[in-house]
Each structure stands twice: as C-alpha cells, then as structure tokens.
Structure 1
Amino acid sequence: MTDSPHPRATDKRRRLAAAAARVLHEQGVERTTIADIAHAADIPVGNVYYYFKTKDDLVRAALTEHTTHLAELTRRLDQLPDPRQRLKALVDAWVAQRHTTARHGCPTGTLAVELDKRQDTTLDQDVAHTLRQLLDWAEHQFRTLGLADPHDLALTLLSHYQGMSLLTNALRDPDITTRQGARLTHWIDTLAPADQTP
C-alpha cells in the first residue's frame, strides 16, 4: 500500500505549482503562458489541464506556494528565543534575497500590484491573505516585546520592505536592500517599551 493513491499525480501538481511560483515571479502574470510553466516543470502542456484548468488556477497555486514558504520561514524564525532576534532574522532573510529582488522584485508584492489591476478575479484577495500572514506574524513579535502600537510597527516594517524591494528592482541595485536592511535592523534594536524609554 502507498501513502497516496496517486503519488505521481501529486508530484506533478507540486512541480507545476513550484514552477508557477518561480516563472510568475520572473515574468509576471500577463507575460507568462501555461506553456511557460509546463516547460519549467518539465511536464507536457497538454497534461497541465489535468491539474489546473486555467492560468488563474496556476496563479492561485503559486500564491499557495508563497504562503507555504512564508509559513516555513516564520516557523524557522520562531525557533529563535527572542522576538527581536526573530524580526532581525527576517530582515536578514530579505537581505539574503537581494540579488533575486534586484532582478524580479518581491514575489508577493509584484503579484499584488499586477493582480490589483485585474477586475475579473478575486486573486488580489488571495495576495492580500499572504501579506496579512506576514503582518500578523510581525505584529505578534512587536506585541511580545511589549511595544505600543504593534500593528502599526508591523505595517512600518512591511512597508519599508516593500519600498526597498521596489527600488532595488527598479534601479537593479541589490545594495539598496543591504543598506536599508541595516537601517531596519538598527530601528528594531532601538525600539523599547514606553516604560523602558530613557
């Protein structure tokens, strides 16, 4: 007996979802075809429709991949003993991706901008779900530190990241992320609960 009735089918679906996440990040939704994703997954184009009926279904699968990767990252960060360390490690993870960001931007942020312009789907709400997941995680870290307005602090953190990602991509300059990441790390270090402020 096997763990799954269709292990090959599950593997192909996962390969297609992973390929969709990668190709959509590199090329954008409008420039990407189902054939592009099939080629990246090394699966015949005709077979794609067995797993995903439309390109929008592949976009949803890509968003699920992003959400899964984010959940895996935050789980790893949660192993660190201190919320301040976790937040700084998140910034370090962003900086580590600076060369990919310079070429293609933030995977979720670029999708959010592109999908917002489409009026015929709810895909923009799916992107918002992924962004909220990160916001909620960051808010929890700031709250655990005993800081006032943890939600606003999380918004500041994510806004700074999206801004530096946009400029890093637009100017093709990974050093922007390096410098702004250092500023974010310093900012996190300076935050203190009101009763501990000198």
Structure 2
Amino acid sequence: MTHSKGPARARAAGAKRQRLVEAAADVVHRQGAERTTIADIARAAEVPVGNVYYYFKTKDELVAAALSEHERHLDLLVGDLSRLPGPRERLKGLVEGWVAQRDLAVRYGCPTGTLAAELGKRDQGGLDVEAGRVVRLLLTWVESQFRELGQPEPEGLALTLVGAYQGMSLLANALRDPAVMEREGARLIAWIDSLETG
C-alpha cells in the first residue's frame, strides 16, 4: 500500500514557515528591523539560511511576517479578554497584560510600537503603513470597549489609553525601570475604575 507524503510534507513546511515568522517577530523586536539579518532569523528559527528563501524572498517580507505575528498575538489577546464579563474588566485586563510584560518592555520597548517608529523613518516600502494598521486594530478594539461602557468620545479615550501604554513602555525602556510600568499601569486601572457607566 502506498501512502502520499504530500500532507505530511505540507505540515512540515507550514511548521517551518511558522517558526520563521515567530523568530522574525522576536528577533526584529530585540534587534530592530534594520540590524536584523535573514541569517539572524534563520538561526533563531533553527532553519538553514538557504531554506528561508523558499518562504521569504527578502528581509522586508520577513518584517511583514513579523507584523502579521504581532497581529496574531493581538487577536489572541482580544479573544482572551473577550471572555471577561464587561468592557471595564476587559480594559483593565489589557492594562494588566501590558504590565505583566514590563520586563520585556524595559529591555526592548513595545513590540509593535518600536517597530512602527523604526519603520516610520524609512522613505519607502509600505511597511510603516502596515505597522500603523496593526496599531489601529488595537485602537479600534479599545474604542469599542469605551463605547460599550457608554463613554462619550470613545475614540479619544482609546487614543489616551493606548498612548499612555506607548509612553510608559518607552519610558520604562529608556529608564530601564519596570516600576514605571507598574506605577503607570496602576494609574490607568484607577482611571478606568473611575469612569462612570453611560
């Protein structure tokens, strides 16, 4: 009896590609897009560098894949937060999640925010627009929570909350102080608690 090796081979290729995507997100976050090489990503994914080109022709394609991985993580986070009973709890859960990542933020900053800032300095490529799209997904979700809470101007409140996160992440990184995230996260949670339900 003959069995086709096609499905197994396709699964292995898919797993290898996913390892490369996850490695790209991690290495680009730690080193920045400009300093990262295809060889760095191949090494982190434990994939021979020559095999990378089967999946991604250029480093920019890998950076785009890293952004798609950020989006996948955001989707997972939003899915988890959606299980909480109400918008106030979801917003506070979001802040608690940010604070839980304080050691990573101290070392490397916000994964999407730092990448968006770096890509925004490029003259071309369109990756800056893609990074902005991922940030916009978070803003849109946060806005929907403020809207469900009955708050006036939910878009402005979303900008305030996400902007506060970017600021505390940047300051924690610049000062190498995780307590910045802890203190500012506590302030954000108290602020969310103080909002009247509309």
- By the TM > 0.5 criterion, same fold? yes
CA distance in 1, matches of 2:81, 2:123: 36
- Which residue, 39, 47, 50 being the options, matches 1:46? 50
Which residue of 1 is the match for residue 192 of structure 2? 188
Structure 2, unmatched stretches of 5+, are none
Q: Does 1:90 align with 2:94?
A: yes
Cα shift at 1:137: 0.5
Cα shift at 1:88: 0.2
CA distance in 1, matches of 2:56, 2:94: 33
CA distance in 2, matches of 1:126, 1:33: 20
Q: How does 1:39-188 map to 2 (within 5 A)?
A: 39-188=43-192
- Which residue, 26, 32, 37 being the options, matches 2:36? 32
Cα shift at 1:30: 1.0
- Give the residue type in structure 1 aligned to 2:195: L
CA distance in 2, matches of 1:148, 1:107: 30
- Give the residue type in structure 2 aligned to 1:75: G
Structure 1, unmatched stretches of 5+, are none
Answer yes or no: is the 8 Å Cα contact 1:102–1:172 preserved in 2. Answer: yes
Structure 1 residue ranges (4+ consecutive) displaced by more than 6 angstroms after TM superposition: none
CA distance in 2, matches of 1:5, 1:33: 27
CA distance in 2, matches of 1:3, 1:134: 36
Percent identity reads: 59
Cα shift at 1:192: 1.1
Deviates more, 1:115-124 or 1:2-11: 2-11
Cα shift at 1:7: 1.1
SS in 1 for 2:57: coil
TM-score, structure 1 length as denominator? 0.95
CA distance in 2, matches of 1:171, 1:112: 21
